């Protein structure tokens, strides 16, 4: 019996290899980075520190408490804390167990209480009860690293500083500004890209964007106005409608994290107007696709 002839299918034609992108030059990266900063300034004209504070000591304490928790949780905790311990002298003399109980909601309360009492003692004994306005002095305080020091310097003393928290580090890498993981190295690299006068506000804008749009999990790429400038576009949801549902805080129609915003904060009306403008940009992006 003759064997049936089986016709072999022709192998599929290989797709032409995509042309590799040319490596971005240093100059091009710097220009793109600074444009991202300008775009973020338009998106978040009201960017600000999201911890409630009325003086440098309160900001220092709140920033120490903010580790491994949300600013909102800290803002819910600090009113009772500062009512009981309004000054470094008061906190230096605190009963550790009583202090721990007040700050318990922020997590890691035993270590944080130890740091707060330690830094308060140092402020009392070494700095006359005042928070120093120099980085070299601040980082000598228990529980205070460069990130916390830069927060205090930039927002309580007007000294430019880059605050590299988890949001800032994540976005700096996604934006292609650096590949560094170490916060100190990220700070140094990014500091060379932007003028010193921009450092503090850049920090606020990038952190705002990380909390509202460019999340750690499921970034809302399809709702991001700076998507055309981002080499990491596509890591998250690209459909504008689906991405719009991922937006947080005022961009998602919810309040931010401050319970007592400063007097010069534009307020809810400005946030609503900005959110509406953002939604308009998202709609334009959807039409253009």
Whether 165 is catalytic is: yes
Catalytic residue among 52, 71, 112, 147: 147
How far is 264 from 131, CA to CA, in rounded Å?
24
Catalytic residue among 52, 71, 165, 274: 165
Residue 278 CB: number of other CB atoms within 10 A? 22
How far is 37 from 206, CA to CA, in rounded Å?
8
**Residues in the annotated binding site for [4Fe-4S] cluster:** 214, 221, 224, 230
Helix, coil or strand: residue 240: helix
Whether 137 is catalytic is: no
DSSP letters for 249-288: GGGGTS--S-SS--TTS-HHHHHHHHHHHHHHHHHHHHHH
3-state secondary structure 98-162: HHHHHHHHHCCHHHHHHHHHHHHHHHHHHCCCCCCCCHHHHCCCCCCCHHHHHHHHHHHCCCCCC
139-172 as b/e: b if 16+ CB within 10 A: eebebbebbbbbbbbbbbeebbbbbbbebbbbbb
DSSP letter (8 states) at residue 248: -
Catalytic residue positions? 147, 165
């Amino acid at each position: 019996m003759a064997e049936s002839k089986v016709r072999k299918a022709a192998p599929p034609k290989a797709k032409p290899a995509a042309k590799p992108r040319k490596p971005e030059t240093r100059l091009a990266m710097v220009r793109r980075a600074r444009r991202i900063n300008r775009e973020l300034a338009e998106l978040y004209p009201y960017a600000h520190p999201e911890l409630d504070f009325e003086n440098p000591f309160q900001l220092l304490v709140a920033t120490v408490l903010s580790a491994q928790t949300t600013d909102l949780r800290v803002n819910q905790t600090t009113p009772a804390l500062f009512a009981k311990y309004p000054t470094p002298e008061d906190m230096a003399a605190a009963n550790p167990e009583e202090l721990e109980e007040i700050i318990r909601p922020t997590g890691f309360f035993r270590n944080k209480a130890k740091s707060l009492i330690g830094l308060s003692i140092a402020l009392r004994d070494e700095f006359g009860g005042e928070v120093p306005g120099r980085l070299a002095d601040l980082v000598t305080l228990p529980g205070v690293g460069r990130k916390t020091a830069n927060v205090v310097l930039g927002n309580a003393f007007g000294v430019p500083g880059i605050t590299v928290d988890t949001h800032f580090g994540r976005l700096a890498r996604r934006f292609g500004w650096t590949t560094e993981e170490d916060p100190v190295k990220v700070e140094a690299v990014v500091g060379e890209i932007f003028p010193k006068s921009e450092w503090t506000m850049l920090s606020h804008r990038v952190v705002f964007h990380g909390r509202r749009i460019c999340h750690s999990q499921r970034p809302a790429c399809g709702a991001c106005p700076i998507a055309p400038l981002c080499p990491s576009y596509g890591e998250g949801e690209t459909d504008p409608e689906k991405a719009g549902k991922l937006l947080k805080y005022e961009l998602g129609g919810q309040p931010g994290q401050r319970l007592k915003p400063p007097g010069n904060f534009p307020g809810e009306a400005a946030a609503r107007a900005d959110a509406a403008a953002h939604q308009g940009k998202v709609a334009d992006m959807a039409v253009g696709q």
